């Protein structure tokens, strides 16, 4: 979604801001802009499309400004065009503001301001905020921002500068993340740590309802009501190198191939193979409540929702605890029935997905214990849940989620085993699963070795515009995830569903040459899947199967088979998803698609 970068210090702000925007590109955007304080004037430059378009429009000799703010915009109010791109100015052109989030009462505020004689230059809710700050300005930017925010309903992360106060940058947040990088006589404020790590690893996380005033001499934080707040400076967990490509052509490829490592990081310190135990420090305080829970609700969006579906199977099968998975966007609005024994588990890579966060708040309001399975440390969901487990899989840059998904499933498997032991899972059964889980990272590495062969197979199918993905049991969510991966980055239409559901409609689509991917490792429902394969073959569909290594039966039925090592059924999703990620990746590359930034998609959806 939208990105914010702001700089105050002694260095040239412009290159730092442009570089920062580039680091935020992965979040998805449609236009960008920058405001620099040049000789007591604010100079704004905006451009539609890539950051490079913006950079090209900046004066060749460069700017000497050492105070500025910049933004990547993803249109919510008003079409993506230069006029609507941030930063926005007040009427006098003396105040500039960038904003993430949505001002819900912008129409009322706009009417009020228009009655005061203010004319608007854009269609955005953000300009209303910039104008409102201008309207409130009486020579003190901090006070003006505070007064303006008092009248605002909605969500925001903002950075504001004034031509009349060249020594300060004001930032505030409510519902949209903001982080302040602390340097030597300089500060970088950003919506995402990726824009900061190049300069400093020391950061202050602004909390909801807080403001910061940054000067070259220091940082002051308060609540929106001016009550001083003391904040700790914390160290960011990842390095710049980690977020660079590391020799791969795309971030998605890098992230697919680093799964042996990212999974090892997720499991590290949490599997006690010798004792046959799972150690999840983050849940220690709530272990008893969890063990006594009557019902688990997983809530998430997108790929994380598919991880939740796997979690549902894991919790019911391994922990013998009733579980269900809900789209957070539905859960939050349907006045869900939550009783004493309900525990909600929010799954989110970014920890900032607006609907997932709202679902957490709804569940907490109704008294449920809310847990988070989140990747981004210090993110809003991580902080608002009662407890949780971090994925520790490192920053995920590619818009299509891959390594976060496998780490989410790994965390849910660990939770299910741990919980299972407190309920009905025998020590022997737990040990078998823990042993098998410990071997998963290496086995993912083995599956990845089939990448070239997967590419050659995809090459023969890539012109087909409709695909089906089918699986049963633990592999039904993987069929859904395989279809989502393919459609989001290669723009091929794909559907994923339980294999049996095919007969209730989708089978009508199957014609000569239609690719149908079966996720069919050996397991309880294997024979039934073979039956479904026959049904597809007899209608001319081209069958591609993901199957257990050594399964010769399926090689007679499927045109192409990709193999996974034999593992206990509850852990199969960690391996069966890998060939599907590779299929989607190769299809997108072969179709010349923008793999890391697919059209119309954003990495982090911070508006509902």
Q: Is the peptide bond before 48 cis (omega within 30 degrees of 0)?
A: no
Place of tokens 């966060």: 357
Tell me the CB-side half-sphere exposure of residue 169, using CA atoms within 13 A.
31
Instruction: Indicate the helix (H) or strand (E) that contains 222.
Output: strand 218-223
User: Three-state DSSP class for 401?
Assistant: coil
The DSSP letter of residue 397 is -
332 binds ligand G6P (CB under 6 A): no
Active site residue 2: yes
Report how many residues bind ligand G6P under the rule CB under 6 A. Answer: 16
Tell me the CB-side half-sphere exposure of residue 94, using CA atoms within 13 A.
16
353 binds ligand G6P (CB under 6 A): yes
92 binds ligand G6P (CB under 6 A): no
Tell me how far, at minimum, the Cβ of 373 lies from ligand G6P, in Å: 9
Q: Give phi and psi for 328, each to the nearest 5.
A: -60, -35
63 binds ligand G6P (CB under 6 A): no
Q: Considering the candidates 2, 14, 136, 393, report the single residue annotated as catalytic.
A: 2
The DSSP letter of residue 85 is S
Of the candidates 352, 418, 415, 338, the one whose C-alpha atom is nearest the C-alpha of residue 385 is 352
601 binds ligand G6P (CB under 6 A): yes
Instruction: Indicate the helix (H) or strand (E) that contains 295.
Output: strand 295-300
Applying CB under 6 A, among 68, 87, 157, 302 the residue interacting with ligand G6P is 302
Cβ-based nearer residue to ligand G6P, 475 or 606: 606
Q: Give phi and psi for 366, each to the nearest 5.
A: -90, 10
349 binds ligand G6P (CB under 6 A): yes
Tell me how far, at minimum, the Cβ of 1 lies from ligand G6P, in Å: 9
Applying CB under 6 A, among 348, 385, 407, 572 the residue interacting with ligand G6P is 348
Of the candidates 283, 333, 324, 332, the one whose C-alpha atom is nearest the C-alpha of residue 305 is 324
Q: Considering the candidates 22, 110, 485, 603, report the single residue annotated as catalytic.
A: 603
The DSSP letter of residue 191 is S
191 binds ligand G6P (CB under 6 A): no
603 binds ligand G6P (CB under 6 A): yes
406 binds ligand G6P (CB under 6 A): no
Instruction: Indicate the helix (H) or strand (E) that contains 14.
Output: helix 13-24
Applying CB under 6 A, among 350, 443, 490, 548 the residue interacting with ligand G6P is 350
401 binds ligand G6P (CB under 6 A): yes
- Find the part of the chain contacting ligand G6P (CB under 6 A) among 175-183, 217-225, 283-291, 347-355: 347-355
304 binds ligand G6P (CB under 6 A): yes
Structure tokens at 527: 């024979």
Applying CB under 6 A, among 399, 419, 510, 587 the residue interacting with ligand G6P is 399
Alpha helices in 380-426 (DSSP H): 380-384, 403-422
Tell me how far, at minimum, the Cβ of 381 lies from ligand G6P, in Å: 8
Active site residue 12: no
List interacting residues with ligand G6P (CB under 6 A): 301-304, 348-350, 353, 356, 399-401, 601, 603-605
Which are the catalytic amino acids? 2, 603
């Amino acid at each position: 979604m939208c990105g914010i970068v702001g700089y105050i210090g002694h260095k040239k702000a412009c290159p730092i801001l442009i570089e920062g925007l580039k680091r935020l590109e992965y979040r998805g955007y449609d236009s960008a802009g920058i405001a620099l304080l040049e000789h007591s004037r604010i100079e704004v430059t905006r451009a539609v499309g890539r950051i490079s378009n913006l950079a090209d429009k900046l004066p060749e000799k460069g700017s000497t400004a050492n105070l500025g703010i910049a933004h990547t915009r993803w249109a919510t109010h008003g079409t993506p065009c230069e006029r609507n791109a941030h930063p926005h100015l007040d009427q006098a052109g003396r105040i500039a503001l960038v904003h993430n989030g949505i001002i819900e009462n912008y129409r009322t505020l706009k009417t009020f301001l228009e009655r005061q004689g203010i004319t608007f230059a854009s269609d955005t809710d953000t300009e209303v905020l910039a104008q409102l700050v201008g309207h409130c300005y009486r020579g003190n930017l901090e006070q003006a921002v505070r007064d303006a925010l008092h009248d605002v309903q909605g969500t925001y992360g903002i950075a504001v500068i004034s031509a009349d106060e060249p020594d300060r940058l004001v930032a505030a947040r409510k519902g949209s993340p903001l982080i302040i990088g602390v340097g030597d006589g300089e500060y970088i404020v950003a919506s995402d740590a990726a824009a900061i790590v190049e300069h400093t690893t020391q950061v202050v996380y602004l909390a909801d309802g807080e403001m910061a005033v940054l000067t070259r001499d220091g940082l002051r934080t308060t609540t929106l009501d001016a009550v001083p707040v003391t904040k700790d400076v914390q160290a960011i967990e990842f390095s710049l190198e980690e977020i660079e490509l590391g020799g791969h052509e795309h971030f998605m490829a890098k992230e697919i191939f680093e799964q042996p490592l990212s999974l090892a990081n997720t499991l590290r310190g949490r599997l006690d193979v010798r004792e046959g135990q799972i150690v999840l420090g983050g849940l220690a305080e709530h272990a008893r409540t969890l063990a006594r829970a009557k019902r688990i609700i997983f809530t998430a969006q997108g790929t994380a929702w598919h991880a939740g579906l796997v979690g549902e199977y894991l919790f019911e099968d391994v922990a013998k605890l009733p579980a269900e998975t809900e789209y957070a966007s539905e859960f939050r609005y349907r006045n869900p029935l939550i009783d004493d024994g309900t525990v909600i588990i929010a799954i989110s890579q970014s920890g900032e997905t607006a609907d997932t966060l709202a679902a957490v708040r709804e569940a907490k309001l109704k008294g449920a214990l809310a847990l988070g399975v989140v990747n981004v440390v210090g993110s809003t969901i991580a902080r608002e849940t009662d407890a949780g487990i971090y994925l520790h899989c490192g920053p995920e840059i590619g818009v299509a989620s891959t390594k976060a998904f496998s780490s989410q499933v790994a965390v849910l498997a660990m939770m299910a085993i741990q919980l299972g032991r407190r309920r009905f899972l025998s020590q022997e059964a737990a040990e078998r699963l823990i042993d098998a889980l410990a071997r998963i990272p290496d086995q993912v590495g083995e599956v990845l070795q089939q990448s070239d062969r997967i590419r050659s197979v995809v090459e023969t199918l890539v012109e087909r515009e409709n695909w089906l993905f089918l699986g049963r049991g633990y592999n039904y969510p993987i069929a859904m995830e395989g279809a989502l991966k393919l459609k989001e980055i290669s723009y091929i239409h794909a559907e994923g569903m339980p294999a049996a559901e095919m007969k209730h409609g989708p089978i009508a689509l199957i014609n000569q040459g239609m690719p149908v991917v079966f996720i069919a490792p050996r397991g309880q429902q294997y024979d039934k899947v073979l039956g479904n394969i026959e049904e597809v073959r007899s209608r001319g569909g081209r069958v591609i199967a993901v199957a257990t290594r050594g399964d010769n039966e399926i090689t007679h039925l499927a045109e192409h088979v990709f193999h996974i090592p034999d593992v206990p059924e509850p852990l199969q999703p960690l391996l069966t998803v890998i060939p599907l990620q590779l299929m989607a990746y190769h299809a997108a590359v072969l179709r010349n698609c923008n793999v890391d930034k697919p059209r119309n998609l954003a990495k982090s959806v911070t508006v509902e």
